[in-house]
Structure formats: C-alpha cells, structure tokens
Amino acid sequence: MDPSVTHLLAQVRTLGEELSSAQGEGTGNEKRRTELRKAVSKLSLALEEPGDVLERVTMQVEIASFLEVVSIKIGINLGLFEILVKSEKPRSLPELAEETGADPVLLGRILRSLASVGAVEETATECYAPTTVSRTMVVPKLAAGVEHWFVYSQYLRVYAHLDALMKTQLMVFVDLSFTYLSPVWHYLPKYLEETHYQNPSDSIHTAFNLVYRTAKPCFRYIMEHHAWKDPFQVYMSGFDEGRANWMDFFPVEEKLGNGAHTDGILFVDVGGGFGHEAVALKKRYPKLPGKLIIQDLPQTVKELHLEGVEVMEHDFLKPQTIKGARVYYFRNVLHDWSDDICRTILTETRRVMDPSYSKVLINQWVVPARDATRLMTGQDLNMMAVLGAIERTEKQWYELLESSGLRIENIWRPDDDVSECLIEVAVKE
C-alpha cells in the first residue's frame, strides 16, 4: 500500500477516536471535526486510480456537482424533505409518490439522486429517511441558499439564446457542457413542475427543447451546430478513458467464439460510432471466426475505413437488415431513448435473430436500486433533462427486455462502479 495512504488511514483513525471520545461542542471539537473532514478528503484523493481522477474532474465537476443542487431543488419543490423530517419512520417510494403526486418512476430517480449525495438516507430498497441535509432544507433561511443559487445562476440560460456567431466565440472560453447543458439542468426543476412531475419519455419535449426552443432531438440539434459538434465528438471519443472494457470481464472466446459460423457474421456493433469496439475486438481476438460489422448513420460512417471491420450505413430506428448474426452489440445506445423507442429497436433486433444462435450484448450501466453512485444518478438526471431518457436499474432492464421478447441470461459486472456492465441477452422462448 502507498505510504501516504497508510499515513492518512492512521490519521483518520486517530482523529475519529479523539472526536468520538471528546465531550461537548467546544472549539476543540470543532477543530477536530474540521481536521477529520480534511483528512478524509485527502484519503479519498490518495486512493484514486487514473479512472477515478478522470471521473471526478470531468463527470463529477461538470455533471454530478451541478445536478446535486438541481436534485435538492426538486426535493424542496416536492416537499420531500418536510415529509421525511416530520415522519416518525422511514417512508416507502409508493407512500411518497402518493403524498407528493409525482410519478413513481420519476420520484424513484429523484430519490436515488438525493440518496447518492446524502440528502436522504436509504434505509432499505425504495425506503427513505431524513439526513442532516434533509433537516437543513426545512429551515427556511438555510434552504434559501438553494433558491438564491437558482436566481443567481439564471445568467447561464442566456447561452441558449445567443446568436450563432456569439455561441462560436463563447466556445473558446466556456466549457462545452456549461455552454449547452447547464441551462437545461437549471431549467429541469421548473420543467418537472410544469409537467406535473410525470416521468419524461419524449425526446422532443424535454427541458432541452424548451430551453433551446427547438422541436429537434438533442443530438440532431448539436450535429447541426458546428461550434458544439466537434467538441462533443472529441469528448465522446474519450468517454471510456479510465474505464474497464467489457472484454476485460466477459469470456469472449467461450461466449462468442465457440460454435460461431466461420462464414457468418460474428459481431454487429449497432450505432457503433467510429467503430472503436469492433476494432478493439478484432485486435484482441484476431482468430475469432466470422465478419465484424459496424453500423451507424451515413454522416458518421461515410468516410470511415477500418481494417478488418466492415462499415455499413444504418439507422437503428429502422428495421435491422442483418439476419442471424452471432452478436448484436449496443454500447451506450439504449440509455439515450425511452422505453417505447428501445422496445422498437430491440423488437426489430429480435426479429432477425436466430433463437438458437444469436445474442444481444448491451454494454450499459445497471444502476443499483440502492446505494447508486453520485455519477450514475447525476447522469440519469442529465439523460432525463436532455433526452427524455433514462439510466436503468436492473429491474427496469428486466422489464424492458421481457416486454421486447427477450430475456437476460446474465449481467456481467466490472470490479469498479464507474465502468459499464455487459447484459447478455437471448430470445425469450
């Protein structure tokens, strides 16, 4: 173990014991408490791996931190904190949904987000109690700080209405996500209030659409604005840095190679972007039998040339044309879409599958029903605000796939809580 980690562990232990044994609330105790918080923070930083650093300085700063305040604002608006603080026992999700009038699916997402930042406590799955944050938010003069932040940060929304030239100039100075995402996140509490706390599921009626005054889906809007398009594509190309690849924990040769047809199609990367996954599979397992194909929209793949991988123009919202492939692979695709649209995509895929031979592999987060990370819940709120979509729990994945005529054979999980799982799926008998 790193000596600095050993030293910090000892320091945390000592400070914790001193604070625990001390009496009263004097200046000495306050000093110990402050020192303990600093030591814990240093220990957390010392334990980081490169992937943790990337997740903290990009995703947590850009998404999770901003959306922490957003989720607390939604909690205030719903009266969640008052309900929990006044209650003599933990409250279940159905009880809270009935009392607030919010859609249970939406409320579950909000409560998972609040739990991930310590604003409520999960005493059991879908069961909640108040915390120090909850109690703080029922004190008017303290909760006013959140209200002040929302008023003060209204300036963020002006980015949405600047002319194209000014937007291009601002891109030089303003971080990409704070150029086009922050105004949307900021508007989310009001959007949910205006839609009577129904779970968003329409990709063209989102907080994003209202802020930017467009009827176009987010991705299409971004692709038509060049000041955003290039930085967005660069950002997405580095999205996997520091994360485990599915091939690190999935038995590829056993599950894909054994029994594969030599003259058939082994791997179809649906919505595969620039083909990184197919190329990586070919490089790591060059002797796997069959063809590898990457599919995406014409504007994405028209100039794409990959060694050992075929490139095909295809819109996954239309019928799949490749029949009987060994694997239909979806990476970070389905979290962009509502259940209804995902059901269409998956049903069309099932239609061309050979039930005794084909698999679907979904490389996506499986959000824990309890103790979800701040990163996952922040990204879930981001998908809600921007796309009317969702990061799904295990239960939600089972429900979606079952309703599409498919069944989960296994969920393969990485050792960390940052990397995506791999959901192994077959045709339902």
The residue among 26, 120, 22 whose CA lies nearest residue 71 is: 120
CA pair distance 304, 428, nearest whole angstrom:
35
C-alpha distances in angstroms, 322 versus 114, 125, 267, 301, 429? Answer: 43, 41, 10, 17, 21
pLDDT digits (tens, 9 = 90+) for 22-54: 765 555 677 777 777 777 777 777 777 666 665
User: For position 179, what pLDDT does the model report?
Assistant: 64
User: For position 165, what pLDDT does the model report?
Assistant: 35
* Least trusted range by pLDDT, from 84-88, 167-171, 258-262: 167-171
Q: Based on the number of CB atoms within 10 Å of its own CB, is 281 exposed (0-12), middle (13-18) or buried (19 or more)?
A: buried
Average pLDDT (62-80) is 86
**Could you tell me which residue, 302 or 265, shows the higher pLDDT?**
265
pLDDT digits (tens, 9 = 90+) for 321-364: 999 999 999 999 999 999 999 999 999 999 999 999 999 999 99
Q: Is residue 79 predicted with pLDDT exceeding 70?
A: yes
The residue among 409, 317, 295, 415 whose CA lies nearest residue 361 is: 409
Mean pLDDT of the chain: 86
C-beta separation of 269 from 276 below 8 A: no
User: Would residue 335 show up in a list of annotated catalytic residues for this protein?
Assistant: yes
Residue 365 is classified by DSSP as: -
Residue 3 three-state SS = helix
CA pair distance 39, 321, nearest whole angstrom:
57
Q: Out of 148, 196, 261, 335, which one is annotated catalytic?
A: 335
Q: Using 50, 70 and 90 to split pLDDT, how confident is the model at 10?
A: confident
Dihedral, 191, 228, 220, 418 alpha carbons, nearest 10 = -70
C-alpha distances in angstroms, 296 versus 24, 387, 392? Answer: 64, 19, 23
The residue among 361, 366, 359 whose CA lies nearest residue 414 is: 366
Q: Using 50, 70 and 90 to split pLDDT, how confident is the model at 163?
A: very low
Residue 274 is classified by DSSP as: T
User: For position 387, what pLDDT does the model report?
Assistant: 96
C-beta separation of 327 from 257 below 8 A: no
CA pair distance 189, 169, nearest whole angstrom:
29
Q: What is the CA radius of gyration of the chain?
A: 24
User: What percent of the chain has a predicted confidence (pLDDT) above 70?
Assistant: 83
Q: Is residue 249 predicted with pLDDT exceeding 90?
A: yes
- CB within 8 Å of 325: residues ≥ 6 apart: 264, 265, 266, 267, 268, 293, 352, 353, 358
User: For position 221, what pLDDT does the model report?
Assistant: 85
User: For position 67, what pLDDT does the model report?
Assistant: 84
C-alpha count within 13 angstroms, C-beta hemisphere, residue 97: 15
User: For position 343, what pLDDT does the model report?
Assistant: 97
User: What percent of the chain has a predicted confidence (pLDDT) above 90?
Assistant: 62
CB count, 10 Å around CB of 273?
20
User: For position 416, what pLDDT does the model report?
Assistant: 87
C-alpha distances in angstroms, 335 versus 84, 139, 151, 301? Answer: 31, 37, 31, 22
Q: Is residue 257 predicted with pLDDT exceeding 50?
A: yes
Predicted TM-score (pTM) of the model is: 0.84
The residue whose two tokens read 């579950």 is: 108
Q: Is residue 393 predicted with pLDDT exceeding 60?
A: yes
Q: Is residue 247 predicted with pLDDT exceeding 80?
A: yes
pLDDT digits (tens, 9 = 90+) for 165-212: 334 333 433 455 556 788 898 899 999 999 999 999 999 999 999 999
Q: Is residue 222 predicted with pLDDT exceeding 90?
A: no
Q: Using 50, 70 and 90 to split pLDDT, how confident is the model at 139?
A: very high
Helices 374-387 and 65-78 pack at an angle, to 10 degrees, of 70
C-alpha distances in angstroms, 192 versus 110, 113, 125, 205, 384? Answer: 11, 15, 24, 12, 10
CA pair distance 404, 341, nearest whole angstrom:
11
User: For position 41, what pLDDT does the model report?
Assistant: 72
